[in-house]
Amino acid sequence: MATGSTDIVACPDCDLLQRVPSVRAGETARCPRCGRALATGKTDPFDRTLALALAALVALVLANTEILMELSARGRESSTTILGGAREMWRQGERVSAVLVCFFTTAAPAAYIGCMIALLLAVRRPPAPRWAGTVLRWAETGNLWSMVEVMMLGILVSLVKIASLADVRPGIGFFAVGPLVFLLAAMSTSFDPREAWSRVRWENGYWPGSDR
Amino acid sequence: MTRPPPTAALAGFVSCGTCGLLCRPAEAGKPGECPRCGEPLAFRLPESIERTWAYVVAAAVCYLPANLLPVMTTTTIKATTESTILSGVIHFYTTGSWFLALIVLVASVIIPLGKLGALAYLLVTVMRRSTGRPLERARLFRMLKAIGRWSMLDVFVVMFVVALVRFEPFMSVVPGPGVPFFAAVVILTILAADAFDPRLIWDPAGKTGGTGG
């Protein structure tokens, strides 16, 4: 029977074969040899994550479209958004860095949030379609390269750096970045990829170890 | 010695690197594809040591220009100043923001250097099939994966300063040639940690347990 095989896993970090015990909300099952977390009990791995993802989408749009900071000095004003910063870098000839920054701060988090919303809608009624697994893989890649929290620290450091030259005021976009960081972190901690994978329909439909 | 720990590889199983499904390959030499997610299966990441070394060496090559070349050029009516990462740290320190100086120093200088050293240490111990302190090495590796992205800090700082400080002809800030090298160091060390297979740390323990000889 195919479903029996998911209780026994090999630790992804040390390959130790073991049975994963059922965990209650807030509990974590760890590999006894290397201490890697194998399963974490979640109260509501899909609906709560979906709510957080929708909120994160709003925060991402605000953080990217609204003004991040405004600066005034000597009777002049200037302001920037996240993409405006990248555009200015592009204009100054740092094209590679500009594209990378767009990818880390906008494209990767957008891919993560978008794929998670699609995935969470798909796994609500198992068996989930085959493409859900592919989308989950994209979401994990997006999450690996999303650096919104690093950008937030970067904004704070640059605020202090410029504060000695001129008068700097944070804008609406700035106040959207904080919640965005929080929502992205809450999304990945409330989500249970094991449970999501267990709902995905198999490519070949049988466990290779079983007698065909 | 006691019996070797029951690992998937010793038992002839392979766990899917993408979805975690435990599979028994039809042929031992050719693991094939995961029946659930369709990804190619492998007992260990293919050419893990070689690929990780390649990324580590490439990142180390970029580390020098990243720290020596200017990341920002500030032009005022009086003068043009080029600042490197370290001169930025010193500027924060001398102007009293020692806490920010510490953050930038840790994120931009210490973390990438520590990451390169730690990855080289892990690679050397794995190549020597060392059995010492596997738990500490496993923890070190998990820490490397978690903190790598913070080194991108200075690239973001440069971007926002450049975008805001535009008071031509009084003052302007232009990104310097160190920025792409800096981004390259961070990306290459993240790729290096991704290419390293932590199961290699534990494999020698299984071999000394008896099956190998």
Could you report the per-residue pLDDT of A77-119, keeping only the tens digit for each?
888 899 888 998 899 888 998 999 999 999 999 999 999 999 9
Which of A69, A202, A206 lies closest to B164 in CB terms? A69
For residue A25, which amino acid is it? A
C-beta separation of A55 from A172 below 8 A: no
CA dist., res. B13 & res. B35, Å (int): 13
Which pLDDT belongs to residue A63? 93
Which residue, among A3, A5, A11, A15, would best test binding to B if mutated, counting the most B CBs under 10 Å from its CB?
A15
Interface test with B, best of A77, A90, A152, A161 (most B CBs within 10 A): A161
Burial of B96 by CB count in 10 Å (0-12 exposed, 13-18 middle, 19+ buried)? exposed
Residues composing chain A: 212
Question: Which CA distances in Å does B88 have to A146, A197, B84, B171?
Answer: 25, 46, 6, 18
Asked if B72 contacts B173 with a C-beta cutoff of 8 angstroms, the reply is yes
pLDDT category at A210 given cuts 50, 70, 90 is: very low
d(CA B47, CA B32) in angstroms, rounded, equals 17
Helix (H) or strand (E) holding A200: none
Rounded distance between C-alpha atoms, residue A9 and residue A19, angstroms = 6
Residue A106, pLDDT score: 94
pLDDT averaged per 10 residues in sequence order, chain B, 213 residues: 75 85 78 82 89 96 93 86 89 88 91 95 92 91 91 91 81 89 94 93 69 34
Residues 40-79 of A with CB under 8 A from B: 68-69, 71, 73-74, 76, 78-79
Helix axes A131-145, B178-195, angle to 10 degrees: 130
CB A128 within 8 Å of CB A118: no
Q: What is the pLDDT of residue A5?
A: 46
pLDDT of residue A203: 65
What amino acid is encoded at B51 in this protein? R
- Residue A119 amino acid letter: L
**Distance of alpha carbon A166 from alpha carbon A163, whole angstroms:** 5
Mean pLDDT of chain A: 86
3-state SS, one letter per residue, for chain B: CCCCCCECCCCCCEECCCCCCEECCCCCCCCCECCCCCCECCCCCCCHHHHHHHHHHHHHHHHHHHHHCCCEEEEECCCEEEECHHHHHHHHHHCCCHHHHHHHHHHHHHHHHHHHHHHHHHHHHHHCCCCCCHHHHHHHHHHHHHHHHHHHHHHHHHHHHHHHCEECCCEEEEECCHHHHHHHHHHHHHHHHHHCCCHHHHHHHHHHHHHCC
> In the predicted model, is pLDDT for residue A155 greater than 80?
yes
Query: What is this model's ipTM?
Result: 0.86
H helix intervals, A6-130? 47-65, 82-91, 95-102, 108-122
Nearest CA in chain B to A70: B164
Q: Report the pLDDT value the prediction gives residue B1, as an integer from 0 to 100.
A: 52
What residues pair up with B171 in beta bridges, in sequence order?
A: B76, B167
Q: Is the pLDDT of residue A205 over 80?
A: no
Put simply, the answer to whether B17 touches A94 (Cβ < 8 Å) is no
Tell me the pLDDT band of A1, cut-offs 50, 70 and 90: very low
Per the listing, tokens 């973001």 go with B156
Whether A121 and A50 have beta carbons less than 8 Å apart is answered as yes
Q: Which residues of A touch B194 (CB under 8 A)?
A: 144
Q: Of B31 and A3, which is predicted with more confidence?
A: B31
Of the given ranges (A178-182, A203-207, B196-200, B209-213), which has the lowest mean pLDDT? B209-213
C-alpha distance from B213 to closest chain A C-alpha (Å): 20
pLDDT of residue B208: 47
pLDDT tens-digit series, residues B95-119:
888 888 999 999 999 999 999 999 9
Distance in angstroms (rounded) separating the CA atoms of residues B40 and B196? 17
Mean pLDDT of A194-209: 70
pLDDT of residue B78: 82
Question: How do beta strands A167-170 and A76-80 pair?
Answer: unpaired
In three-state secondary structure terms, A168 is strand
Using the beta-carbon criterion (under 8 Å), do B175 and A97 form an inter-chain contact?
yes
User: Are A15 and A31 contacting, i.e. CB atoms less than 8 angstroms apart?
Assistant: no
Which helix (H) or strand (E) segment holds residue A17: the answer is: strand A17-19
pLDDT at A206 over 60: no
**CA angle, B158 as apex, B152 and B164 as ends, to 5°?**
140
pLDDT per residue as tens digits for the range A43-78: 888 889 999 999 999 999 999 999 998 888 777 788
Residue B19: what pLDDT? 86
Provide the CB-side half-sphere exposure for B69 (13 A, CA).
14
Q: What percent of chain A has pLDDT over 70?
A: 92
**pLDDT class for A204, splitting at 50, 70, 90?**
low
| Phi, psi dihedrals of residue B10, rounded to the nearest 5° | -65, -30
